[in-house]
Amino acid sequence: MRARFLGPCMALALLAGAAGSPAQSADSKSSQSIAALRANAESGNAVAQYNLGIFYSHGWGIPQDYAQAALWYRKAAEQGMSDAQYNLGGFYYDGHGVPQDYAQAAVWYRKAAEQGDAGAQYYLGILYHNGQGVPKDDAKAVTWGRKAAEQGLAEAQFSLGVSYYGGEGVPQDYSQAVFWFRKAAEQGEADAQFWLGVLYESGTGLPQDYAEAYFWFDVAAAGNPPTASAEADVKNRDEAASNLTKTVLLQTQERARKWFEDHPAKP
């Protein structure tokens, strides 16, 4: 599960703002910063506890230690910090620093989700969908996934589209599948782009449109790593192209080119 990083520029502020003269080494400044962070954490400061957990999780200035990261996340989580609850849930899901325990993952994801954390809402929905740590319940999976999707989380939007497409936890509704696939696709979610292309090509949930199908397959191919998924994108794109006139194909390729300019690949 995806972990979360520091709060607003905290790592940079801690490391760059260390006390001491300019002549001190970077290692010396880093050690002083971490010592100050630890002192704040030990005094009960939830933000410092969370950030110390981040430092341990990534080995920033101290040896990487997932058990220590989990310990400090827990201290912050027990004070109600949603980012810490989210990360602790992820640690229980993956078995980082604690024994893998889906039930505990659900406990901590739920605490963060109930505070409105979109990532926690999404992953709690996944746990309900898979029946991991909670009884399998597609309706609850959709409920939590929808909360995250409505906050703009692309992964949740795609997942909600899949639920509508397959009729899992909601009545099957292709137009709603299109709606949520499009929202995720416009944020660069490659799987959603592929499925939006599929629906355009087949005319499912919207009028058949080979130019739109080509466009979304092309965009998806660029967003996927060179794997079987990308090969499928290219194959479907080329099949859609065979139904287009040369003029329409060139226009659609130009539209895709502009999309790539406006949506540069994430590093």
Q: What is the mean pLDDT of residues 162-180?
A: 98
Domain assignment of residue 95, yes or no? no
In 148-230, the DSSP E strands lie at none
| 39: in domain | no
61: left (phi over 0), alpha (psi -120 to 50) or beta: left
- The pLDDT value given to residue 223: 80
Contact 191, 168 (CB under 8 A): no
Q: Does residue 194 belong to any structural domain of this protein?
A: yes
Rounded-to-integer distance, Cα 88 and Cα 76, Å: 10
Q: In the chain, count of helices (H) and strands (E)? A: 14, 0
Q: What is the pLDDT of residue 21?
A: 36
pLDDT higher at 81 or 225 = 81
Domain membership of residue 23 (yes or no) is no
Q: How many domains does the chain have?
A: 1
CA nearest neighbour of 196 among 172, 163, 219, 230: 219
Tokens matching residue 75: 């201290």
Both tokens assigned to 182: 């499009």
Predicted confidence at residue 27, as pLDDT, reads: 58
d(CA 113, CA 156): 13
Structure tokens belonging to residue 84: 């810490």
In a domain, 262, yes or no: yes
Spatial distance between the Cα atoms of 14 and 2, rounded to a whole number of angstroms: 24
Is 153 part of a structural domain of the chain?
no
pLDDT tens digits, residue range 253-264?
999 999 989 987
What domain range includes position 182? 174-267
pLDDT value, residue 266: 61
- Note whether residue 111 is domain-resident: no
Residue 78 lies in a domain: no
Separation between Cα atoms, residue 151 and residue 173, nearest integer Å:
21
Q: How far apart are CA 51 and CA 83, in angstroms?
A: 10
Tell me what pLDDT residue 17 has.
42
Q: How confident is the model at residue 1 (pLDDT cuts 50, 70, 90)?
A: low
224-237 mean pLDDT: 84
In angstroms, the CA 267 to CA 249 distance is 30
- pLDDT by residue (tens digit) across 7-57? 434 554 554 443 333 334 445 557 788 999 999 999 999 999 999 999 999
- Indicate the DSSP class of residue 189: -
Cβ(50)–Cβ(61) under 8 Å? no
Which 8-state DSSP code applies to residue 98? S
Torsion on CA atoms 42, 43, 46, 52, rounded to nearest 10:
-30
Residue whose entry in the numeric block shows the structure tokens 């029946």: 131
